[in-house]
Amino acid sequence: MINNILRLYFIMGSMNTKQNDPIEVLELALQGGITCFQFREKGVASKQGQEKFLFAEKCMKLCRTYKVPFIVNDDVDLALALNADGVHIGQDDEIASQVREKIGKDKILGVSVHNEEEAFLAQKAGADYVGVGPVYATSSKEDARTPAGTKVMEQVAFQYPYLPIVGIGGLTKENLAPVFKAGGAGVALISAIASAENPQHQAKQLRAKIDRILERESPLSEHP
Ligand code: TZP
Ligand code: MG
């Protein structure tokens, strides 16, 4: 079920891990319990062409070993060439309905949205989930909008109760609880894990916290 995949959604490219080897960081994150991975290779010195393909392929193989879905940010052709598990696009990328047509109905399609109107169009185009943010200030995205807290998430969750939402932007284990209170299925994050001294430990702590929150919310947990 898509909601379980979205619980702890790690996003990373080669520019996000400072001096650490991104492949090592990804493996530690996988060992720590991330539930989904998005390959987001962006920035001035980011990998291009064949180098990008080979790096993405390595990441995907690692994800497959841990049975964690591998999603490609923006680059639909790369996702198709790799037979990735899905694609995530923003509002400035290819139109969601076109992407859905290209990748087929069985792949995961995620769309970043910033208001109810964009959420409406995303679900109409066949998005499996939407990303809403930035919840808090972030330094991981150059063109990030003004942080909106969880207000937009609440509005989208109210209007489209069956559309899974992930919150994104500046999220850490200390500040993620409001995302779930606002109806989020999970958190998407870069630096909390990619810049952590111990990415495995960090991912493990994040996962434990999220699982605890979601267990409390589950109707089954009311009947011990
Ligand atoms: N989209 C909105 S905020 C963001 C993206 C890709 C960056 C999230 O990174 P971090 O380090 O978790 O704030
Ligand atoms: Mg994009």
What pLDDT is recorded for position 217? 84
Give the span between the Cα atoms of 142 and 18, in whole angstroms. Answer: 16
What pLDDT is recorded for position 221? 60
What pLDDT is recorded for position 195? 97
Q: 40 an active-site residue?
A: yes
Choose one of 40, 135, 138, 152 to mutate for the ligand 1 pocket test, by most ligand atoms within 8 angstroms of C-beta: 138
Give the span between the Cα atoms of 124 and 43, in whole angstroms. Answer: 31
Choose one of 11, 12, 15, 88 to mutate for the ligand 1 pocket test, by most ligand atoms within 8 angstroms of C-beta: 11
Q: 52 an active-site residue?
A: no
| Low-confidence spans in the chain with pLDDT less than 50 | 224
Q: What is the pTM for the complete model shown?
A: 0.97
Tokens of 9: 């959604």
What pLDDT is recorded for position 222? 53
Beta bridge partners of 167: 132, 187
CA of 66 to the centre of ligand 2 (A): 26
Q: What letter does residue 11 receive in the DSSP assignment?
A: E
CA nearest to 139, candidates 175, 170, 176, 179: 170
Ligand number nearest CA of 13 is 1
What pLDDT is recorded for position 218? 77
CA nearest to 15, candidates 56, 54, 44, 53: 44
